Structure 1
Amino acid sequence: MNKSFILLFVIIITSTFLLTGCWNYNEVEKLAIVSGVAIDKNEKDNKFELTAEVIDLKSTQVGGRFNSQRIQSDGDTILDAIRNMIKISAKKLYWSHATTFILSENVAKEGILPVLDFIARDKEPRLSINIFVSKEKTAAELLSQQSISTEIRSFEMDYMLLANDSLSKVPEVQVYEFMNDLSNQGISPVLPTLEITLNEGKRTAELGGTAVFKKDKLAGFLTLEDTKFLLFVKDKIKGGLLIVNDKEGESPHVVTLEIFKNKTKIIPNYSNGQLSIDIRTRTDVSIAEEDTTKNYIDEKGRAELRKKAEKYLERNIERVIKQAQQEFDSDIFGFGNTIMRKRPDLWKEIGKQWGSIFPELKINVDADIHIKSSGHILKPIQVGD
């Protein structure tokens, strides 16, 4: 064996023994490890009110489980409120493990820039932190609800977003993505929302849909269901369901389609001074559930169901786009950004007028749905006389 290699191996092994141990135990004891924070505004003096969820290290030493505690303070700025927590905790807050920032509706309406500035400027918070907007009266109350999967509320909210691939009803937006959309032309940012629900009679947090922004200020909300159609336009559908409610005929019924794959293309068209956007979706689904004996499995039935599902998707995409145009006046779909990338010459001509063009923009939606299977059932369940 090469002597140089042996020498290197000995050095590595020796260093391993010399450098291990509880060398940083005291440092950890001096820190309050933050898992998440809620940011509110005091109506009396307009100060920031912060509620930090801190991991309780003593609970892990005693019972072997992670628990959390909450620390509250206020300040003229976010950093001022954070530093004031030292008066309560006697420890400096450590932000490198924080996963969640929750903003109250009031904070989001006034503008999110102070929050972004703290996260981007400080060396500890990661740019992959998730930011939520609270649909409750305050952001702090979301950190005091019962947890279902873990005692650390902020971590549970992070897990909710990770599980959203099978739901596709909230946008998954991390800090750096929000900042990119905020700084780019022709696109407005969005954030996921949180609200309180009852589970077995106890209050707990749940995903609530989408917070729509115009520049850095909150403009309004989309529901969970409407968010799905926003994600179709943005080509961010990873799964979820399409529920086709057929109200026509003598026996109204519902068919549930499970989404396996989707691809959306946005194509800007400009002719004779008229601008329009073509949205083309291609979606692979299967029949997951139905409450009818009508045969949607054979070739004829499948073609009929496909047509109904395509109309359902087209109609709802158009509806959500119109809502963004008329109610929010906010291009959350990035149509302007698409024009800037695909037709920079055109964007140079119309970019400065985009704020007045977007609300009147003509949209054409073409959905193409392919029904791949019907599960284990080869024909609908029949009910005897």
Structure 2
Amino acid sequence: MAGGGIVLKQAHAQTIIQAFEKYSPKHLAVEGDKIGLQVGSLQKPVRKVMVTLDVLEPVVDEAVEAEVDLIIAHHPLLFRPIKVLNTDTAYGRTVEKLIKHDITVYAAHTNLDVTEGGVNDLMADALQLENTEVLVPLFEDTLKKLSVFVPVDHADDLREALGNAGAGHIGNYTHCSFSTEGRGAFRPEAGADPFIGEPGKLERPAEEKVETLFYASEEKKVLQAVKKAHPYEEVAYDIFDMAVPGRKQGLGRIGRLPEKTTLNDFAEKVKKAFGVEGLRVVGDGSAEVEKVAVLGGDGNKYAMTALHKGADVYVTGDLYFHVAHDAWMEGLMMIDPGHHVEQIMKQDTADRLNNFVKEEKWETEVIVSAVNTDPFRFV
């Protein structure tokens, strides 16, 4: 029991991951990405969760010392097929320690890159980009329209529940809906337990038809909210596909700086935003920069995408020599702050998990790994 008489519940790994996947669903991952359960079991209680960028041996040692039950990582530990697990190597010892100490490892990789509010949005926000769009669209979340028939006295409660579930979100507005009043008609059969009326008698209650929009990926959550908030034993509703474009989801972001600057000044801004000692820059330092593309991790294959979408500069990691050459010749400026800047996901992910813990009243602690897993340093 926590302070204030709140009774805390024991959380299980599976329920924690289910909550997390509402924010970073698996279907957003790039095909073939090694996401999800990596080591251990999700069928166990969890008292402590640790969030990390990488699962290296020092990180696992940290988890063992902190008595962690579940590690949630951005980079998968098991990314390539294992032919031999030699416990004389650092990799083998890492897996051995995880198993010996019953620490489960779960990875959210490209799905955490793609999701709204994920790695790429965090990086764009850190650079103060405005009016951002997806750089590399991979999916389109189609729009749907919901019509629900509800007693007039319960219409406001239903609208609130729909808005809280994510329906009716249009631009900078939430809880958007439209209603028309009328009369429903139904006759409960024997064995029914009607909220209004009685079996065998035709009822004509005053009802509202509440209409709202939602994205297809949120359909399950929206319908759960409808059934929970609706007083009827059997809920009458319609769902229609919308012809208007939906929400594009994908890798990277592209947007504009609040004001124009030079490449050199922007490079200093990137260093400060991501807390790096140094970075690699391609282009004339005095050149003007306004439109910026950003993509966490290895973004080599999307350099020309950034160019064709009008970016002045492309911020990404692990730049190859020849990719930089090609971009340079085409006039695209580039900044490589390293792959490790994706660590920006650690604190944000921990904060989101802590919100889930508070909402569900779980007896679970969420911590952030303090181990620096960046293999590079500047001298």
Using the size of structure 1 for normalisation, the TM-score is 0.19
* Greater strand share, structure number: 1
Q: Which protein, 1 or 2, shows the higher relative CO under an 8 Å CA cutoff with sep ≥ 6?
A: 2
* Greater helix share, structure number: 1
Using the size of structure 2 for normalisation, the TM-score is 0.19
